[in-house]
Chain A
Amino acid sequence: DTGVSQDPRHKITKRGQNVTFRCDPISEHNRLYWYRQTLGQGPEFLTYFQNEAQLEKSRLLSDRFSAERPKGSFSTLEIQRTEQGDSAMYLCASSLPTGDETYNSPLHFGNGTRLTVT
């Protein structure tokens, strides 16, 4: 079990530039999630996939954000026209599918990509 892998670990960009992050989930996990975390706060849900299908997207997510999981394996999160308010840790997580209504497979998180917009 190599865990959830995220790349890059750090990204510094200038306001207005586009950035893309990659996430490789645990191999047998078919669910993949993106969260965002700012200093002193808990992670905030952005979106999640089951296989290649994007099943839910936060209402708070700007149209500048887009996520893909083209083959149901790795995922990318792109932020267009970055703003200083986008500075945060972007966390990816994965999980096994939930088998029934009474059990929730826990989310396993990667170590994140820290984005700084100058």
Chain B
Amino acid sequence: EDQVTQSPEALRLQEGESSSLNCSYTVSGLRGLFWYRQDPGKGPEFLFTLYSAGEEKEKERLKATLTKKESFLHITAPKPEDSATYLCAGMTTDSWGKLQFGAGTQVVVTP
């Protein structure tokens, strides 16, 4: 069964304290691995798509990487405005429209 697992469930960081979030997937025929950010009461906001092992993408203080079995979201020198829930999701070869989401990592950055 396709599964996406994120760890840790929650992460509390001091401002400037870099860290990484993990997304492991057991999805057969992965067509793309997506990262989203979600603020309370809002819908998920698209961050990155990764397609193949070794691929990396960056946006401001965020960098996403992909291996054959997992993806990492690195947050470098985070600021309080980076506080959010970060979701990863896989899309498989048997469905163009269906994203399999993990439960997310809730990140809180304190000043």
What residues of chain A have their CB less than 8 Å away from a CB belonging to chain B?
Answer: 4, 31, 33, 35, 40-45, 48, 50, 55-56, 58, 91, 93, 98, 101-104, 106-112
Among A42, A43, A55, A103, point to the contact of B97 (Cβ < 8 A). Answer: A55
Are A111 and B43 within 8 A (Cβ)? yes
Provide the residues of chain A in CB contact with B68, threshold 8 Å: none
Question: What total of A-B pairs shows CB separation below 8 Å?
Answer: 64
Q: Mark B71-105, 1 if CB is under 8 A from A, else 0.
A: 00000000000000001010100011111111110
Q: Mark B7-51, 1 if CB is under 8 A from A, else 0.
A: 000000000000000000000000110101000011111100101
Provide the residues of chain A in CB contact with B102, threshold 8 Å: 42
Are B46 and A42 within 8 A (Cβ)? no
Are A33 and B43 within 8 A (Cβ)? no
Are B41 and A45 within 8 A (Cβ)? no
Among B43, B89, B103, point to the contact of A41 (Cβ < 8 A). Answer: B103
Are B95 and A42 within 8 A (Cβ)? no
| Residue among B31, B43, B51, B103 with the highest chain A CB neighbour number at 10 A | B43
Chain B interface size band reads 20 to 34
The smallest C-beta distance from B28 to any residue of chain A, in angstroms, reads: 16
Are A56 and B95 within 8 A (Cβ)? yes
The smallest C-beta distance from A31 to any residue of chain B, in angstroms, reads: 7
20 A–B contacts from the bound complex (CB under 8 Å)? A4-B43, A31-B97, A35-B99, A42-B101, A43-B89, A43-B101, A48-B98, A56-B98, A91-B44, A98-B96, A104-B31, A104-B32, A104-B34, A104-B49, A104-B91, A104-B96, A107-B46, A109-B44, A109-B45, A110-B43
Are A109 and B43 within 8 A (Cβ)? yes
| Residue among B97, B99, B104 with the highest chain A CB neighbour number at 10 A | B97
